[in-house]
Structure 1
């Protein structure tokens, strides 16, 4: 029988951001982002940025609060020891991003593109990630908690100790994802797009089994 310590093993090794006391972080004014620009040890808050187009922008030990980025492409962004609180990056292109020791808290990332991104020591909590793309990404020591991931796309992503806790994941795409040891038992979905050969070792609740019956050629009465 699975207990709480089993799930804790998936998440307790995630390193939190090494962020200084927010009171010690100066406010960083920002009007536009430039390719290969670097930001370090600062706070960015109550800012709306539109139509940004830059690559390899780097943020190290930065706190974002109430930041909105829209209609933008920020490919290969680099985030280390970063916290996002109540930010909106819906439909932004973050493909090929490098994200390490980063937390997303109560963020809106509907349709955000993380294709081929690398996540390590990342937590995403209480956030809207419907239609977000993590295709071909590498997710290591990453946790999604109380998130909406309906129709999110993880096609052929590489999972290494990825946790999903009480997430809504209806019709999420996980084809080509090895799901061994991935615990979906607390999540809500009527169906997932998966490949039958990737299911062995996936952890689900008894009432979720019907969602996978079609893959096995079963008919449930």
Structure 2
């Protein structure tokens, strides 16, 4: 595996680049433009992607640990089998995403916007979703147990067999198609 540490990437270095089996540590991608950039089997430790622009970029089987990914619009990005552990992802926008095989353990996704997403069978457990908005999303067998759901809005969503813990269930209840997690 290639190792890259303490590097601030320029737009030119990222445009059209493909990275495979590379470990990035303490790297700065903030406000960078990713155009036709691909990452496969990469690890990102404590990297800053805040306000990055992801245009026709893909992340496959990547692991993000302790990264800042605030205010990113993932609409034109492809995310598959990625893990975002202990990441700050406040205010991100996910439009027309499926997020197959993705997970977000102990991450902060507060104030995120999910629109026209198919989040079926996705585990959104033990994360902060405070004030997140789910608009026209498919939530079938989605698991929200252990997550902070204060102020979350579910608008025009198709919800069935979606799991919440007791606090979330009290807030949303059966009226929307949620089921209570059994202890």
Task: Summarize the Cα distance change of 1:41–1:107 in structure 2 as closer, same or farther, 3 Å threshold.
Answer: closer
Task: Summarize the Cα distance change of 1:33–1:100 in structure 2 as closer, same or farther, 3 Å threshold.
Answer: farther
Instruction: Report the alpha carbon displacement of residue 179 of structure 1 after superposing the two structures with TM.
Output: 2.3
Task: Summarize the Cα distance change of 1:194–1:68 in structure 2 as closer, same or farther, 3 Å threshold.
Answer: same
Q: Distance in 1 between matches of 2:27 and 2:51?
A: 14
Q: Could you tell me which of 88, 95, 100 is aligned with 2:70? A: 100
Task: Summarize the Cα distance change of 1:40–1:101 in structure 2 as closer, same or farther, 3 Å threshold.
Answer: farther
**Structure 1 residues 27-66: Cα deviation after superposition (integer angstroms, max 9, x where no partner):** xxxxx76122112565733222111112221112211122
1:69 corresponds to 2:66: no
Kept in 1: contact 2:5–2:24 (CA 8 A): yes
Q: Could you tell me which of 148, 163, 170 is aligned with 1:193? A: 163
1:111 corresponds to 2:62: no
Normalised to the residue count of structure 2, the TM-score between the two structures is 0.84
Q: What SS class does the counterpart of residue 15 from structure 2 fall into?
A: strand
Larger radius of gyration: 1
1:36 corresponds to 2:6: yes
Instruction: Report the alpha carbon displacement of residue 133 of structure 1 after superposing the two structures with TM.
Output: 0.8
Q: What SS class does the counterpart of residue 164 from structure 2 fall into?
A: coil
Kept in 2: contact 1:107–1:126 (CA 8 A): no
Q: Any unmatched runs of 5+ in structure 2?
A: none
**Structure 1 residues 164-187: Cα deviation after superposition (integer angstroms, max 9, x where no partner):** 112233222211113233222422
Q: How many residues align?
A: 181
Q: Distance in 2 between matches of 1:121 and 1:43?
A: 26
Instruction: Report the alpha carbon displacement of residue 203 of structure 1 after superposing the two structures with TM.
Output: 8.2
1:89 corresponds to 2:68: no
**More displaced, 113-122 or 32-41?**
32-41
1:7 — aligned with what?
A: none
Task: Summarize the Cα distance change of 1:203–1:97 in structure 2 as closer, same or farther, 3 Å threshold.
Answer: farther
The 5-angstrom pairing of residues 137-216 of structure 1 reads 137-202=107-172, 206=175, 208-209=176-177, 211-212=178-179, 215=180
Q: Any unmatched runs of 5+ in structure 1?
A: 1-31
Task: Summarize the Cα distance change of 1:154–1:127 in structure 2 as closer, same or farther, 3 Å threshold.
Answer: same
Kept in 2: contact 1:43–1:62 (CA 8 A): no
Q: Distance in 2 between matches of 1:201 and 1:74?
A: 36
